[in-house]
Amino acid sequence: MGNTIIEASKIVKYFHDPVKVQVLKEVTFAVNKGEFVSVIGKSGCGKSTLLYILSTMDTDYEGDLVFDGELMRSKTHNQLAQVRNEKIGFVFQFHYLLPEFTVLKNVMLPGLKLAKLGPKEVEQNAMEKLQMLGIEDQAKKQANQLSGGQKQRVAIARALINNPLIIMGDEPTGNLDSKNGRLVFDIFKDLAAQGQSLLIVTHDQDFAEKTDRIIEMDDGRIIRM
Ligand SMILES: Nc1ncnc2c1ncn2[C@@H]1O[C@H](COP(=O)(O)OP(=O)(O)O)[C@@H](O)[C@H]1O
Ligand SMILES: [Mg+2]
């Protein structure tokens, strides 16, 4: 526990279809509380595969993942779902908002699912997150009425709703124009300044260079960190 959020030790991953391929080769690293870390590397080097394992969604790997002081291998699927919902906020390349739901409802959903707070408090927190991201005026709109940049900000608000230990992103600016990409980066930077830990996969070198630490991967290995 203490200061380390993620401890990955010798993570090995194979895919078996169509042939057996080793995609991760003894990946070992840690992320400490308050760090803003980026992961870079060529397309196909294993970044998304690694993030999928670190986020506890993929359990088919060798090696150990300790998240917030707990060994993930010993957990059931339900326990892992609980860890994710409570402690990890996700931002993907595509926003995965529910298009027919309001912006506010989309942000509230992980909070309602966690059910640590009642709906009124979850709603209040959701409005605060939207305010923080400068889109509180969009709260009552349906998600599909927003622009791409606005949708991604809603996705960030949703990722923050349960006050996660860490935000994980897989190419969160990959589908945005450069202006909105910068905006999302600035939001992450602000969050980091407030003590939020972030682990963000990106192919944007400029983005990566402005983070606290770059982890560079090549062919399933970390080659720089
Ligand atoms: N479900 C899968 N089955 C088989 N191979 C996969 C699967 N997912 C990814 N791969 C392969 O694993 C490698 C790493 O992929 P990925 O982690 O998506 O790379 P990155 O995110 O760095 O672009 C690639 O060669 C990719 O083709
Ligand atoms: Mg990827």
Q: Is the CB of 93 under 6 A from ligand 1?
A: no
Instruction: Identify the CATH number of the domain in which residue 19 sits.
Output: 3.40.50.300
Q: What are the DSSP calls for 5-53, one per residue?
A: EEEEEEEEEEE-SSS-EEEEEEEEEEEETT-EEEEE--TTSSHHHHHHH
Label residue 17 by pLDDT band (50, 70, 90): confident
* Residue 95, pLDDT score: 80
Ligand number, closest to the Cα atom of 17: 1
Quote the CA–CA distance of 208 and 36 in Å, as a whole number: 10
| In the block, residue with structure tokens 């993570």 | 11
Burial class (CB in 10 A: 0-12, 13-18, 19+), 203: middle
Q: Is the CB of 4 under 6 A from ligand 1?
A: no
Are 55 and 168 a contacting pair, CB within 8 Å?
Answer: yes
How do 88-91 and 166-170 pair as beta strands?
parallel
Q: Name 170's bridge partners.
A: 201
Are 172 and 89 a contacting pair, CB within 8 Å?
Answer: no
DSSP secondary structure code for residue 142 in this structure: B
Structural domain range at position 195: 4-224
Q: In what order do the strands lie in the sheet with 21-32?
A: 21-32, 4-15, 62-67, 70-71
In degrees and rounded to multiples of 5, residue 107 shows phi and psi of -70, -35
In degrees and rounded to multiples of 5, residue 147 shows phi and psi of -75, 165
Q: Which ligand 1 atom is nearest residue 47's CA?
A: 22
**What is the pTM assigned to this prediction?**
0.94
Give the tens place of pLDDT for each residue, 169-214.
999 999 899 999 999 999 999 999 999 999 999 988 889 999 999 9
Q: Which ligand 1 atom is nearest residue 46's CA?
A: 17
Label residue 101 by pLDDT band (50, 70, 90): very high
User: Ligand 2 center to residue 131 CA distance, Å?
Assistant: 30
Total domain count, the chain: 1
In degrees and rounded to multiples of 5, residue 79 shows phi and psi of -65, -40
Test site for ligand 1: of 12, 15, 24, most ligand atoms within 8 A of the Cβ: 15
Quote the CA–CA distance of 61 and 71 in Å, as a whole number: 13
Quote the CA–CA distance of 1 and 67 in Å, as a whole number: 8
SS3 content of the chain, % helix, strand, coil (to 5): 40, 30, 35
Q: Which ligand 1 atom is nearest residue 220's CA?
A: 14
Q: Is the CB of 23 under 6 A from ligand 1?
A: yes
Label residue 2 by pLDDT band (50, 70, 90): confident
